[in-house]
A and B are shown apart, each in its own frame.
Chain A
Amino acid sequence: MKTGRQWLWPSSLSGRLIATIALALLIGQLINAVLLVRIQHAQAQDRVAAEAALRIIAATERLEEGRPLRARSFDRMRRSPGVRLRRTDLLPANPVTAAMEQLPAVAERLESILPSYGVEYRQLVAGMTDAPPRPRRLARMAADIGGRDARQVRGLAIVAVQRPDGQWLTVRVPVPENSSRIGATIIAQTVLLYLVMMIPLVWLTRRIARSMGALREGVARFEATQEPQPITPSGPSDLADLTRSFNAMSARIATMLNEKDVMLGAIGHDLKTPLAALRVRVESVPDERQRARMADSIDDITHTLDDILSLARIGRTGEPLEPVNLGALVEMIAEEFVDLGHEVTVADAPRLVIPLQLTWIRRALRNVIGNAVRYGARARVSIARGADSVSIVVEDDGPGIAAGDIERMFEPFTRLEPSRNMATGGTGLGLTLARAALRQHGGSLTLANRQNGDGTMAGLTATLTLPVG
């Protein structure tokens, strides 16, 4: 029953722990990456703004001193404002069109820088040129901003300042590319973090899982055997404490179960001895009818007592499983009923050997077949072999059971016809015991009404199923 979701999301504790931490780490690294990219972006804009500011200040100085914007020839060789002014122009119109990508962050930075250097202007705009420069120029521009190759230049920013005389002082500044190394750095960092965290984490969770596995097996073993077998506490202290608590609890439960067995044995003994005394004294009653009735009453009490004690002890008898010829068992029980004058037929009794607790399955069969002859006049028994189970089917010709009452039949002390039952001496525990015995073997007991072709009740079918192999 594994759905896709369960497949994606591990079910074990260690799996979940590792997956959760891995996921949290990944999210943390993503946030880290976003922050880094943003910082880098801001730095790039700072650089663009600083470069533009330098040139604008230099150009403004020249213009105010009446010198030309660019000194020709040899100026170019020196790394002087002349070089920086290479891409500086004085234009009559605003070169930054609305179609360009605007750089408001750069403009904002410049607006805070320029006035403090005495640069006067009417307005200031910044944008990216929409026609990217050729690769060779890009490489040169990259060299200008200290990079090694063209890939580190994203493009050219145009910053234009409208001077008080209406002309546009325009500078072009290369915009550095966001470094791709950031991605690689983040990935390398994440991998390293994973290694550093996951290796001890896997080791730790496996240790925890091992301790928990031992505990789980101990619980299952106790469930199966009801014998306390202390588990050696291991793992972290909480788990070790849990293991110790479990050991204490299983020991207490085992003690209680043993006490229960002792108590039931004592009850059985203490009630049966006076019953035996009564049964002996009954023999001295002269009236034969009275004597028979009294003996019957004692038998009823004894049966009820035995059934109650059995029900309380089921699963605790320690009776071993033995290979039993089921066909012969069914036939023997059928013959017992035949000897008592009941009509019981066995349709098909193949030789089928199953490991059983003989006394319990014999009891279950006696109870079910006994019910069939008591309420259903006769019993037809057949054995059907299934793929991995065998079913003993007991059919009677009785009145059946109202559909709503079928499940109730398995509850202790349920009798559907109290008046009739009292006379026949049912304890109301027969089916409860039978079902408990079959369940003890991993089998089941079901009851179902059978109908004739015309819809009238044909009788009740009881099916006792036992696993095979």
Chain B
Amino acid sequence: MNAATLPAVDERADPDTGKLGMWIFLASEVLFFGGLFIAYLYGRTTWPQGWAAASRHTDVVLGTVNTALLLTSSAIVALAVACAEDETRQRWTAGLLWATATLGAAFLAIKGIEWHADWREHLTPTASFAIRVAGAQQFFALYFVMTGLHAVHMAIGVGVLAALAHARAHGRAWARAHHVEVAALYWHFVDLVWIFLYPLLYLVERHG
């Protein structure tokens, strides 16, 4: 056994491989959420009145606040990555990661409030669904599936960022700059999904 003759570099140490792996995963996620957008497009073009009527019952204030929270969290995590790559500023990284996770948690809390309100207003897909316009119930069924799936992804993101923040504060080997960058990529993707969910769910028809 002559391991000494093999190249000294451990190929797995290449930081770009993790980035590539995450991008490939995100490409698969585009198709994952993408199926829901197709179902949404079917519903919107088939039941335009129902979609409009139902969309007016979403809480546009909370939805907008959440969008702002998420966009801000993306900026903050981008800053965290920049800090991690800068020797003098890398001690800020953990704090920024915690901030991002907190904003994410706030997003989830607001989402929970929204869902609770929806349930109270009989907007969940049950026999007592409140809006008597054809297609409105389907809108809300998709609304819950889409925001629900998004929330699951966000929760995972919050967990990962919190774990990373903790690991960085304790100097762990798996929380280096390129690991932060990979986690940030995932976070940005979750933001991207919401960027489309916001107008499609909250802003179908607000005039009149």
A binds B: no
Q: Give the B-binding residues of A (Cβ under 8 A).
A: none
